[in-house]
Chain A
Amino acid sequence: MNLSFITPQFVLMVFLGSVAGLFVGSIPGLSVSMATALLVSITYTWQPNDALALIMGVYVVGVFSGAVSAILINIPGAPSSVVTTLDGYPMAKKGEAYKALFYATLYSFVGSVVGLVALWLLAKPVSEFALNFRAQDYFFLSLFGLVTVSSVTSKNYVKGIAAAALGVLLSLIGLDSGTGMPRLTMGLQELNNGIAIVPALVGLFGFAEVLSVVFAGSSGQTVQTMKHQKIPLGKALKHLPLSLYTSTIGTLVGALPGAGGPVAAFLAYNEARRLVKKPETPFGEGAVEGIVASESSNNACIGGALIPMLTLGVPGDAVTAIIMSVFVIHGLQPGPTFLNKNADSFAAILVGGMIACVAVLLLGLLVAPRLSKVISIPKNILLPVVTVLCVVGAFACNNRLFDVVLMFIFGLLGFVMRRRGYPAAPMVLGLVLGSGMDSKLRKAIQLAAAKKAPLQYFFSRPITIVLATLTLLVVLGSIPAVKQLTGKAKAAVLGKLKRA
């Protein structure tokens, strides 16, 4: 590998991108994809390697920074940080924001490194595996992600699945990709392009939080001041095995086009809940393991998402889709021959990513704790500013005032859902995955219909059967009666074993 491109300018570009990434990631409403899109126009005339350095800095640190706002003000900077709010925000409310940020930084670093190492080592084999996925496999993978999230985020699985179903329903609004016909748009032209994720996300998590705090009447209260805690490295590294495991999940999910960070984070969180039987603090109330799983997996997705983009020309998520446009602008063509023809650019991505990982550590440990002072601002000052940020964030994604209206509607919906115990996270995931699930299912049905034995074709492959079975098991496992039965059976078996 020729590393002559590593110059002080290259390193500086990565750090500049990293600072920008910290900024856009931690401010609600500003997304990494938006920042990357803006950078495409700036880096148009640059050397390809400098452009890649800047963009890798924004990408890696931007994904991590989503956790900063998720922990401090319960507004995820990106969809993949939704899971971090589950335990990060409760920790911040208890005055453990520093600890939450420390763990988020450390394990974002681990996740990013694992993802990039996987990109280096496994680029070709993993892409070939993902290439084997058929439409029905993608459908079941998304369905598995949805039911998992629904069972994880709500005590009442009916409410979790209802939220996910509503999210999927909302994702169907707009022009149908197959026929071009408007669907569920109620005659509104503004809905022809569907509901944008950003206004929904900002409304469900940002504006709904503002309404909830105002409703509770605690707007004049301040959050407990942040305690600067010394965390021994040995204790902090205790979660390394969990982090490596969830990073592997993140890398694999990231490599599947369309799945991305949110699915990875939710799957990893569910695995953490399954593996860690006795966390110091229960999951959902400030468990460090929850942050470790979420942050490791969503950062590992970076390397994973780059695998199909570089080797197949199929972007793994929105940001890699934009990064791909940088490649095309600079005359580089991602695809099966990319690694051989553009070894320098591949090395620049890997090295730039690794330098950005170091930037995650530096910025996360030195700068992010300063940002945590945000939570000590009285809420009656913070809430109006957050409301304006919600308005700006919702508007900025498409420059449409209609998106601000959508944000208000989603905010109100999120507020009512919170009051009634409906989780918002499955709705967001449904919104992200829904239209893809629709098109994949229809494609699978059309292909199956052309065969002599459609059902046999549909479930003819082990991948499909495994994914469908897993989905069914998660659904069955969430039903209280089944839970009781399996609990009793488990206790009976354990009792017999003890007696034996």
Chain B
Amino acid sequence: MKTLRNHAFQEALILLALCALLLWYSLDGYANAFNKSWGQSPYLFPIIIAGVLGVLGLMQLVAGLVKTQQAKETAAKNKGGAVRVLVLLGMSLLYYAVLALIRLPYWAVMVGDISLRFSTFEGATLLFLAGLMAYLGVRKPILLMLVPLGSTFFLSLIFRSLLHVILP
């Protein structure tokens, strides 16, 4: 178990697994290909990369084995940090899901010649920004209201109205 806890050893295993997968993929693809010329084969370069990854994996393996004999892992554990990262990822994925799945009808406001359009992106962004700010420790209600509103309006104005960039 101590060996597995060693970072270098874990990385070596990942690199070697990638190497094995890539070798299998390339050789299998080459075997089934009509054209057997390596010079024209799309599997030549993946095999070279597999070779490089294999050599690097072996080097990391040696480094990992030396490390376990020499010293304990010093990497600090940060369970709270991992939870915060997971929550942030979860919120981001929820934001993505809303953008991908929910379609609100557009409504537009004309300011001079510029048409300001609002839809799912604006609503989802407003909620996401306020939610994430609150999770990261912003407690002032004025900030929780103004920053999401201002940022969303600014992004919508610049991207959608002025640059004509399609927003999610």
Contact = CB atoms under 8 A, between A and B. Distances in A.
Contacts of A442: 39-41, 44-45
A408 B159 CA distance: 21
Interface in A314-340: none
Given A165-B52, A183-B46, A215-B82, A388 B137 contact: no
A408 B93 contact: yes
A176 B151 contact: no
B40 A38 contact: no
Interface residues of A, number: 53
Given A158-B63, A420-B11, A408 B168 contact: no
A385 B85 contact: no
A405 B168 CA distance: 12
A412 B99 CA distance: 20
A38 B163 contact: yes
A168 B50 CA distance: 11
Pairs of residues from A and B, 10 with the lowest C-beta to C-beta distance, nearest first: A380-B136, A215-B81, A176-B42, A384-B132, A445-B39, A438-B45, A446-B39, A219-B136, A395-B168, A399-B166
A378 B95 CA distance: 22
Interface residues of B, number: 59
B147 A385 contact: yes
B35 interface: yes
Contacts of B138: 378, 380-381
Interface string B87-103: 01100110110011000
B44 to A, nearest CB: 6
B17 interface: no
B56 interface: yes
Greatest chain A CB density within 10 A among B78, B88, B128, B137 is at B88
A169 B39 contact: no
B96 A162 contact: no
Interface in A216-248: 216-217, 219-220
A474 interface: no
B81 A391 contact: no
A497 interface: no
A176 B59 CA distance: 31
A72 to B, nearest CB: 17
A366 interface: no
B123 to A, nearest CB: 13
B132 A387 contact: yes
Interface string A380-406: 110111011101100110010100110
Greatest chain A CB density within 10 A among B60, B93, B136 is at B136
B38 to A, nearest CB: 7
Interface string A167-208: 011001000101101011000000000000000000000000
Interface of B: 7, 11, 15, 18, 22, 25, 29, 35, 37-46, 49, 52-53, 56, 59-60, 63, 78, 80-82, 84-85, 88-89, 92-93, 95-96, 99-100, 125, 128-129, 132-133, 136-138, 143, 147-148, 151, 155, 159, 163-168
Nearest to A186: B25
Contacts of B35: 179
B60 A158 contact: yes
21 contacts: A158-B56, A158-B59, A169-B18, A169-B22, A183-B46, A184-B25, A216-B81, A217-B81, A219-B136, A379-B136, A380-B133, A380-B138, A387-B92, A391-B168, A401-B96, A404-B168, A412-B89, A415-B85, A420-B11, A438-B44, A438-B45
A215 B15 CA distance: 25
Contacts of A165: 49, 52-53, 56
A441 B44 contact: yes
A401 B100 contact: yes
Contacts of B49: 165, 168-169, 172
A387 B53 CA distance: 32
Given A165-B56, A381-B147, A408 B81 contact: no
A215 B40 contact: no
B125 A388 contact: yes
A396 B84 contact: no
A457 to B, nearest CB: 13
A210 interface: yes
Contacts of B44: 438, 441-442, 445
Contacts of A215: 78, 81-82, 84-85
A320 B25 CA distance: 37
A426 to B, nearest CB: 12
A362 interface: no
B151 A385 contact: yes
A214 interface: yes
A391 B56 contact: no
A442 B52 CA distance: 18
A183 B42 contact: yes
Contact of A388 (B82, B93, B129): B129
A183 B43 CA distance: 8
Contacts of B165: 38, 392, 396
B146 to A, nearest CB: 10
